[in-house]
Amino acid sequence: MPGVLLRAEISIDRLSKSGQGVGRLEGRSVFVDGALPSERVLVEIADGGKVPRGRLLEVLSPSANRRASPCALSERCGGCDWLHLGEEEQRRAKLEIVLSALEHLAGICRSEIQVLPTHVCRRQLAYRRRAVLHLRAGRLCLFGRRSHNSVPLDRCPAMVPRLSELLVPLGAKLARLEKEAVSVHLLAEGEAASFAVFLSGSVRPSQVEICRRAVRELGLKGAALVPRSGTARLIGQPGLADEAAPAPLRIRPDVFAQANAEANAALRSAVVERLGVRRGERILELHCGNGNLTFAIAAAGAEVLAVESSPSALQLARERGGEQAAAVRFIQGEASSVCEALARESARFDGLLADPPRAGVPGIGSAAQKLGCKRVVYVSCDPAALARDAENLKACGFAPEALQLIDMFPQTRHAEVVIAFARQAPRFG
């Protein structure tokens, strides 16, 4: 248990991968929320914790990159942790976190990789078209910074206006679901919006009626009630058209979609460029989701075998249709198991694309090797998982070539990167 509170002045040297300022006190690293490199700060530290964490009391010497936060809740809310840091420095820090993870966890020196210019979005606020919240006392809330304290939202400057204006009225409409609602997911595309409620149990008629009334009275497209197990119950038409896609994809609030539409379009372009698809090549895509990247690859001339474990995501992908659909085959299954089955069948692919969740793709290097891939493109939002899988790819003969940061999440520490690997020719002698 933490003991006596200690006050101390420390100098901040760097930012951690979790977005905190890091300084040293008596030979130990101290992590401080809200502190920036080059600052001298007064902190309060609970003596006895495994990892010393300092509560910022005062910035004694501010960084030139510090700025006033545009959000009144930023010191309490866990949604945006870098609102006090200038945006150019945010991007530099994210890139440093990624390159440092590759160096220290994967043994890949930054000199081995061509670092391409970061894609910068025009909107640095009001960009988030998707949000995951929870209900407390008739309010939609985010969790507090590094806590499970609820922070009620009246508005959110990070969200697109259509979502921000829904926060108060939708929370009130769903108040009676608080005990059984695990989370509430919001989604908007233009002026169209929908929501999903993830439940701790099964779907009941009273829950359906509450959501149906919210859809009708707030002018929403639809809703999804997602039971703990089983298929979602859809109300109205919760699926929206992703207008930024080459041909409209379907996105739904109960299925993962990238939160930043502009950055997502840049992500698609970066993936196609890094894969360097030639007409008629075969590409294996792991964790394809709703086809966000799939059809962009097919439009470049590839034949795509796309793998996804979520039936709801695959349903949306298959609804897409269009002229590229004939070049795409979808398989529902767990990525590693599908790769093993394909290898047993002696299947061969020219390239492999992976866009995994935070757990990464265990054994990706071995899978790419067995399937004869010449190129691998990996999309990551987690530097540690990226480093683990990059180390495996390098051990299996795939050399890192180019890396690009897509600034998907301005005002936060989260980094979306695209990194390309090429298979090295075997050495003899």
Nearest to 296 by CA among 160, 418, 116: 418
Same domain, 114 and 136: no
Contact 187, 152 (CB under 8 A): no
Q: Say whether pLDDT at 210 is over 60.
A: yes
Q: How far apart are CA 395 and CA 374, in angstroms?
A: 15
- Does a structural domain hold residue 80? no
The crossing angle, in degrees rounded to 10, of helices 383-395 and 87-106 is 40
Q: Say whether pLDDT at 18 is over 80.
A: yes
For residue 12, the cross-strand partners are 23
| Structure confidence at residue 58 (pLDDT) | 96
Using pLDDT thresholds of 50, 70 and 90, give the confidence band for residue 326. Answer: confident
Same domain, 236 and 155: yes
In the structure encoding, which two tokens stand for residue 59, read together?
Answer: 């910035």
Contact 69, 145 (CB under 8 A): no
| Structure confidence at residue 5 (pLDDT) | 80
- Does a structural domain hold residue 429? no
- Each residue's pLDDT tens digit, 377-427: 999 999 999 999 999 999 999 999 999 999 999 999 999 999 999 999 765
Using pLDDT thresholds of 50, 70 and 90, give the confidence band for residue 256. Answer: very high
- Does a structural domain hold residue 165? yes
| Structure confidence at residue 248 (pLDDT) | 74
Q: Say whether pLDDT at 429 is over 70.
A: no
- Does a structural domain hold residue 264? yes
- The arithmetic mean of pLDDT across residues 37-55, rounded, is 88
**Of 242, 271, 302, which residue sits at a domain end?**
242
Share of the chain above pLDDT 90, in %: 88
Pairing of β 328-332 and β 351-354: unpaired
Same domain, 290 and 389: yes
- The arithmetic mean of pLDDT across residues 288-292, rounded, is 95
pLDDT top residue among 249 and 136: 136
Same domain, 200 and 333: no
Q: How far apart are CA 314 and CA 115, in angstroms?
A: 33
What's the structural domain count of the chain?
Answer: 3
CATH number at residue 302: 3.40.50.150
Residue 226 CB partners (closer than 8 Å, separation 6+)? 196, 197, 198, 199, 232, 254
Q: Order of strands across the sheet with 328-332?
A: 114-115, 398-406, 416-423, 375-380, 351-354, 282-286, 303-308, 328-332
Contact 35, 65 (CB under 8 A): no
Place of tokens 């169209």: 192
Q: Say whether pLDDT at 2 is over 90.
A: no
| Structure confidence at residue 1 (pLDDT) | 42
For the chain, the first-to-last Cα distance in angstroms comes to 59
- Out of 51-55, 96-100, 113-117, 400-404, least confident range: 51-55
- Does a structural domain hold residue 353? yes
Instruction: With residue 380 as reference, give the H or E element that holds it.
Output: strand 375-380
In the structure encoding, which two tokens stand for residue 429, read together?
Answer: 């002698």
- Does a structural domain hold residue 364? yes
3-class secondary-structure state, position 219: coil
Same domain, 270 and 358: yes
Same domain, 265 and 222: no
- Each residue's pLDDT tens digit, 136-180: 999 999 999 888 899 999 999 999 999 999 999 999 999 999 999
CATH number at residue 14: 2.40.50.140
Q: Say whether pLDDT at 316 is over 50.
A: yes
- Out of 188-192, 226-230, 325-329, least confident range: 325-329
- The arithmetic mean of pLDDT across residues 320-330, rounded, is 78
For residue 77, the cross-strand partners are 144
**Of 51, 66, 81, which residue sits at a domain end?**
66
Same domain, 188 and 271: no
| Structure confidence at residue 425 (pLDDT) | 74
CATH number at residue 221: 2.40.50.1070
- The arithmetic mean of pLDDT across residues 187-207, rounded, is 97
Contact 248, 265 (CB under 8 A): no
Q: For residue 353, how many other CB atoms are within 10 A of its CB?
A: 29
- Does a structural domain hold residue 83? no
Q: What is the DSSP letter of 426?
A: P
| Structure confidence at residue 3 (pLDDT) | 58
- Does a structural domain hold residue 78? no
pTM of the shown model: 0.93
| Structure confidence at residue 356 (pLDDT) | 96
Nearest to 250 by CA among 292, 286, 220: 292
Give residue 353's domain range.
89-122+260-423
Same domain, 275 and 392: yes
| Structure confidence at residue 88 (pLDDT) | 96
Using pLDDT thresholds of 50, 70 and 90, give the confidence band for residue 325. Answer: confident
Contact 22, 16 (CB under 8 A): yes
Same domain, 340 and 382: yes
Same domain, 318 and 169: no
Same domain, 175 and 211: yes
Same domain, 369 and 404: yes
Average pLDDT, the chain: 94
